[in-house]
Structure 1
Amino acid sequence: MMSTFKSVLLAGTIAMAPLGIEAHAAPGEAPIAEVILPPAAEEAQADGASEAYAAQQKAKMEREMDEAIALIEKMFDTGDLPPVDPARLALAQKAMGALVPSGSLERMMDNLYGKMFKTLMGEFGGQSDMMLSIKTGVESDQIATLDEATKAKVSDMFDPYRKEREEQITKVVKPLISEVLADMEPPMREGLAKAYARKFTEAQLTDLNGFLATPTGTLYANEWMALQADPEVMLSIIKAVPPLITKFVDRAPQIEKDMKELPKEKQLSDFSDKELAQLAKLMKVDAKVLQEQRDMWNGPVEEEAMTDVAEAADDYAVDAAADAADAAAAAADAAADSADPAYDRSNWSAADLKRVEDLELAYENASIAAYQAAEEAAENARKKLPD
């Protein structure tokens, strides 16, 4: 599964690739003749390419989502749990019908994001001191001295349709959010029903349904989810955050000391030739590839960079660096493909594709066999050499 960081980097590189294709032409080459299409044909071609690209991106996104869901299913595997008792499940489903009625998720989100959305729209909508300062370069303290009517006139000079724009955003986005939240409610009810059926006995679920049927229970069922995002709850949680952060800051020296008691993670540059051979055997790759990578990092020019990398490893920045390297390689391949569609395997014939894949497989097998033969030869030599 491709990480968000890699996806963004790859998408950005692919987007920029068409701008840089021309720069890769050899100095002596004549520019490729440009075919001028009639406006209607050009527009139709652009629309077709755009639709095809959108379809490809959608398919790619769906594959990545499937991979993410598969990983989550693995993390929260319920295969080893006993079957849910049908009688308890029926009672739990009745309870969830009361606790998660239609529209309850939307009410909760309105509590949580409704005021937040309006506040942010006000701050970033063009009339706030901050946005006017950004647009004009005038200090926000000076802008704060202006009355609201003057600020509105200044904002209107930049965007006379800003209010209509804000209303349009709300009008377009809110129905979609409502639809998505409504789609989420049935699977949420089903999941909660199974969890309740496993957690509570038949008698307990009967008692719960009895309570939910009372006036107090009905009121609780209608309000409990929305209350999770009530302003009182949100303010209390937000106000509790600074002391939590302060606690971590105050204990940072001790945390750092405790973390440093463990040996640092090894880098490839720390591996000996013998360890590299073991690593190559495990990974089924040529040891020379790993040796070249190690030696590159061990070069004198890279000593300072190696120190930085070692320190960054403690903060897990190495993972991001690896992601960037993978994404850059993938982006380079993608850029090359976009520069020359002849290398796009989807354009190859079935016979050509099979021939290339067979040769690639043969090369991989030969590489592994060569490595294994070299290891066996080295082992035989060790037996003959004096200790």
Structure 2
Amino acid sequence: MMQKIMAPMMDSFTKMPIRDLLQAGGMEADKADALNPATIEEIMAILDPNFRKRMDVMLNTMMPALGQFMGRFEPDMREGMAEAFASRYNAAELGEISAFMKTSTGAKFGSGFMELAADPHYLGKVQAMIPEMMRAMPEILQKSVTEMGTLPKPRTYKDLTPAERQRLEALIGLDSKKVTQ
């Protein structure tokens, strides 16, 4: 399922003009707009003619491996999902959901629910959104940067009291004689 989701997203990403990506990364809009509308795909076709194949290999090897890895955690994830349902629905509502899931329509819905995220109809909408999201990122990030600017700066080791230094040293296993001030 992840391959079905990631492949179109990566494809959409490589078709984005690099200037959009650079602007999302913080380049000023006027400087980014002055750049040519070259895409990652166009540039990589020159630098690495096998770029697309490399991306396919990566997706086709990583996703099954991640699936195996995640499979080890499925029992915990099921438990977490049960807890999430229990925190959102009361006993009567859970009973209604359970009754629905026992119907043929409920069983069909339940068995394919997670796969909806990989449906081409849905993925097409997600793909169409990515370039716009990348254009919006500078403004979105700026709000975070502005808000972070209102917070006090993190303390340095020199700012800590002797007790805080001792606690930090114990937590991360530092030898106080070797700590640079």
Q: TM-score, normalised by structure 2?
A: 0.49
Name the structure where helix makes up a greater proportion of residues.
Answer: 1
Larger Rg: 1
Q: Which has the higher contact order (CA 8 A, sep 6+)?
A: 2
Q: TM-score, normalised by structure 1?
A: 0.26
